[in-house]
Amino acid sequence: MVRRSIVLCLALALAGLALLVPLRDSQADELAGPTADQLRSRAACESQVSNGKYAHDSGGSRTAAVCRSGDAVHWTADFDIDCDGQRTTQCNENTDPSFQPDTSWHQSDGRPLNSAGLPFIVVPLPSSIWDYRTAGIGGATVAAVVYQDKVAYAVVGDQGPTGIVGEGSYKLAQQLGINPNPASGGVDGAVVTYILFPGVTSTPIENAADAVSKGEAAAQAFVNSTSTCASTNLDFTSYPTIQSGSTGPAVRAAQCLLGGTNEPSGNFDSTTVDAAKAFQTKVGLPADGIIGAKTWTALLAAGTQPTLRLNATGPDVRRLQRTLTAALARTVVIDGQFGPLTEAAAKDYQSTRQLVVDGVVGPVTWTALQAGK
């Protein structure tokens, strides 16, 4: 009797542990990344990047602007169901009167995306209103999509009409708790926020787990970032040496890059000296509190390390052009277009730093720049 009681107790204990494990995993999943409210709050429109606004539906009022806040590009709109791509039980000619058996971007095996299986969003085709490519956005760019109290992570997977925003895949709708039926689903009103992270891409595009992992990290960094420098000019034809007592726009730019919670003053005070020393220590430069070429280079290069090459566009190219201007002590045109002159500057930098000279700026070149070399 005693032995049977012991066995029974052990069995009950093991069963209890089995029940607890998935609960713990589920709780961890729910806590990963920022909340819906945190993302919505951070996604205030610091600057409008679209030349005008978009409608939610054909013939509707144009009320949705594409904005930039920090490193993210975002808009708020309705949610229409995109069921295009691979034919599935959920998405086909019978379930969707507007079904198209293709998507703008394809899986790594060459097939169209699967709307019923992959969370993706739709960007408007390039037009005079806005060209997503100039913002460093393309297929597989990771996005956080917010609806009510839910956050789902997706990739850019398809293109839509030039005058409309607010569309996502069947699977994304499901994850957000929106009716995914392509004929009768979706949700009206400016109630869904789409936040895209230029330079952050899922590899391959159909790897939803990779999109979630990278999206959570990018979203957390976005929420943690300060918005005080949204209107501060960081583009200079040269980056002068500045130190205690210096004043002006270059000091304001440096204060933005150094971070902090206060609005940049443009006065190189003791707080700025301390911040400069802390940054220099962090990247391995002499901590003298003077911002010269090497410190400027490291400050301007800080951030992600996307691979950039000829014909690349977007904010990461601007960041590179600023950095090369400081590192080479000569003007590199800062226009967000990786053209022949930017490629030549990249090669010059690589040559003088004993790196592989190919004009392609990948992790190795970024690491050197971020160290102030």
Looking at residue 11, what is its pLDDT? 41
**Can the peptide bond before residue 204 be classed as cis, meaning omega within 30 degrees of 0?**
yes
Q: Which domains does the chain have, with CATH numbers?
A: 36-224 (2.40.40.10), 249-370 (1.10.101.10)
d(CA 95, CA 83): 9
d(CA 146, CA 148): 7
Looking at residue 256, what is its pLDDT? 87
Looking at residue 224, what is its pLDDT? 78
Assign 3-class secondary structure to the chain.
CHHHHHHHHHHHHHHHHHHHHHHHHHHHHHHCCCCHHHHHHHCCCCEECCCCCEECCCCCCEEECCEEECCEEEEEEEEEEECCECCCCCCCCCCCCCCCCCCCCECCCCCECECCCCCEEEEECCCCCCCHHHHCCCCCEEEEEEECCEEEEEEEEEEECCCECCEEEHHHHHHHCCCCCCCCCCEEEEEEEEEEEEEEECCCCCCHHHHHHHHHHHHHHHHHCCCCCCCCCCCCCCCCCECCCCECHHHHHHHHHHCCCCCCCCECCHHHHHHHHHHHHHHCCCCCCCECHHHHHHHHHCCCCCCECCCCECHHHHHHHHHHHHHHCCCCCCCCECCHHHHHHHHHHHHHCCCCCCCCECHHHHHHHHCCC
Q: Is 321 exposed, middle or buried (0-12, 13-18, 19+ CB in 10 A)?
A: buried
Token pair listed for 168: 């996502």
Looking at residue 244, what is its pLDDT? 96
Q: Which residues of the chain have pLDDT under 50?
A: 1-31, 261
Neighbours of 4 (CB within 10 A): 8
Looking at residue 125, what is its pLDDT? 97
Q: What is the pLDDT of residues 194-215, one digit of tens each?
A: 999 988 999 999 999 999 999 9
Looking at residue 15, what is its pLDDT? 41
